[in-house]
Amino acid sequence: MGPVAAAERITVMDVLRGFALLGILLMNIEGMAGPLTASMTGVDPSLSGADRVADTLVYLLVQGKFYPLFSLLFGMGFAVMLARAQAREQPFFAIYLRRILALLAIGLVHALLIWAGDILVTYALAGFVLLLFFRRTPASRLIGWGVFWMLVPCVLNLLLGGLGSLVQLAPPEQAAEFQRQMQEQAATFAAQIEAQRLAYGSGSFAEATAQRVADVGSMLAFILIYGWFILGLFLLGAWFVRSGAIARPGEWPRLYAALRRLALPAGLAMTLWSWWLVPTMDFARLDLTASFAQVLQMLGGVLMALAYLAWIVRAVQAANPAGWPSWLAPAGRMALSNYLLQSLAMTLLFYHYGLGLFEQVPRAWQLPLATGFFLLQLGLSRWWLDRFRMGPVEWLWRAATYGSLPPMRR
């Protein structure tokens, strides 16, 4: 076992990773340019004009669509490593365990020292479950298990929303107590937003780090529910590899046609319905309508992510070797380095210990800023891989995984 050689790579997966990097930055930049918690509430009701249009477009087309795509790719990577180990009749568990532990360490450094909105810690924790219970699952059962685990948080959300609606119909004393508790919850989140505004907008690196520690603790609480959703996406991604659908897409024309023609409009309709019902999350609200809107946004996002995947696959199939998909592949080959570089560059741009532009860049200007930086990453990735075999963080990750220093220079 060793790192995947260049000739063994599945090119479309690298292109998909490169494409996903753009969406991730378009989504994350709001939580870097301003308070992280405030960026997770949907459309900001205080915005108007071009800023509101930009915020709404991100909600409809980006938010909740690209982390599922990255999650699918994580599951694909797991299945690729497992298949290579089985083909060579070599042990897999210990190697992948080291890989997950290394990812957890990288994620903790990222979350605590750079940006608290990290996803790598969640991926590592869900990856433990994937390794322990699903490495021997037949390909024919992966979709069923994936859908099951994605539905778990959806059902929990609906049950909580239904309970909240029932409590509001209870006797006045109980309903008033419930509302008081919800107002306290909203006040807690409002205080968290103000603490982030103070620490990141005017605090030192030490003060920002202390706030990141608190924010990471809050974010980890969501893993108890949404970690299962990500696990389900991992399993769907593993199915794409185990079935051959991602390596040999030409053998699955009906699947990809359905994802392009049906999943995209269905997912967009569900997202629009969610936006129409509850465009902005209210931390003082818990009822069936709000929960239903959140479930629509989650499931609609998965359908749109699958549709994006299908359209990128088609573009790769139709493109010539020098076409635009080829420019995405180098960025995707060093996706982990690029993801961390996005966080580092944007926090240094916005946080007070950097250039101090926190809450100074209008929402509409954040999108061209993110796009421009992504284009810069495309060129930098191509330049880097002309000289080196992998990204710097990928080199570190592989060294920890395989217990030896892989060659770096070409």
410 in any annotated domain:
no
Q: How far apart are CA 124 and CA 335, in angstroms?
A: 16
Q: Which two tokens stand for residue 370?
A: 């993110």
Q: How far is CA 274 from CA 182, 189, 266, 277, 290, in A?
A: 22, 22, 12, 5, 9
Of the pLDDT bands very low, low, confident and very high (cuts 50, 70, 90), residue 187 is very high
Domain interval for residue 364:
6-402
pLDDT for 326? 83
Structure tokens that stand for 24 in this block: 């991730």
Per-residue confidence (pLDDT) for residue 404, from 0 to 100: 87
Using pLDDT thresholds of 50, 70 and 90, give the confidence band for residue 47. very high
User: Are the CB atoms for 333 and 21 separated by under 8 Å?
Assistant: no
Residue 48 located in a structural domain: yes
List CB contacts of 298: < 8 A, sequence separation 6 or more.
64, 150, 153, 154, 229
Residue 232 CA to residue 151 CA, distance in Å, equals 9
As a whole number of angstroms, the distance between CA 386 and CA 380 comes to 10
Cα separation, 227 vs 71, in Å, equals 11
Q: Identify which of 283, 377, 291 has the alpha carbon closest to the alpha carbon of residue 18.
A: 377
Domain assignment present for 354: yes
Residue 215 in domain? yes
Q: Does residue 286 sit within a domain? A: yes
In a domain, residue 409? The reply is: no
Residue that the structure tokens 């960026």 belong to: 39
Q: What confidence score (pLDDT) does residue 353 get? A: 96
Domain-located, residue 50: yes
Residue 396: what pLDDT? Answer: 95
In this prediction, residues 384-394 reach a mean pLDDT of 95
- The percent of the chain in helix, strand and coil, each rounded to the nearest 5, is 75, 0, 20
Query: Residue 410 pLDDT more than 70?
Result: yes
- Mean pLDDT of the region 343-360: 97
Which tens digit of pLDDT belongs to each residue from 101-149? 999 999 999 999 999 999 999 999 999 999 999 988 999 999 999 999 9
Domains of the chain: total: 1
- pLDDT at res. 255: 96
**Residues contacting residue 381 through CB under 8 Å, at least 6 positions apart:** 18, 330, 331, 333, 334, 338, 391
Q: Using the predicted structure, report yes or no on whether residue 252 has a pLDDT greater than 60.
A: yes
Residue 350 lies in a domain: yes
Q: How far is CA 162 from the centre of its chain?
A: 28
- The pair of structure tokens assigned to 203 is 């605090």
Q: What is the pLDDT of residue 4?
A: 57
